[in-house]
Amino acid sequence: MSTMELSFKLNGRALTLNVAPDTLMVDLLREDLGLTGTKAGCREGECGACTILVDGTPMNSCLMPALKVQGREITTIEGLEKADGSLEVLQEAFMGEGASQCGFCTPGMILTATALLKQNPDPDEGEIRQALSGVLCRCTGYRKIVQAVKAAAKARA
């Protein structure tokens, strides 16, 4: 199968790769680039475990052909780490509030909440729940996740 050149920004770094036209973004990230924080859950766009930020907007990478990110900026959970290796406020809040159990949904939750807090720095509980509705968690019941997002919003204020 032939490949096509793909150039995009990934976690702040410019990349140019050759990819097959049928490559999905989740597979490019996990298999080709070794960024396994993006989870391959249902592969149907229903669970949100594969959420990445595309130009700041949460999107399901399991449904996205890699070639669709040409010229765009992609952020994965690995991209939230600060230059000194410390975690971002939202990641710290998830740990502090005990907002993850098995951790499978956590990257998708954190990236989705990152986009929410950028758009709305002080969301109420309903807004948080609505924003996170595209990422399924089978372990926590969401209460601690919502608390973590509120804590991060407060810490950033």
8-55 pLDDT tens trace: 999 999 999 999 999 999 999 999 999 999 999 999 999 999 999 999
- Contact present, 90 and 117 (Cβ < 8 Å): yes
Q: Is 94 helix (H, G, I), strand (E, B) or coil?
A: helix
**pTM score, whole prediction:** 0.95
Domains in the chain: ranges and CATH = 4-79 (3.10.20.30), 89-156 (1.10.150.120)
Residue of 78, 52, 55 whose CA lies nearest to 63: 52
Residue 157 reports pLDDT greater than 90: no
* Exposed/middle/buried for residue 73 (C-beta within 10 Å: 0-12, 13-18, 19+): middle
- Contact present, 121 and 114 (Cβ < 8 Å): no
Residue 102 reports pLDDT greater than 80: yes
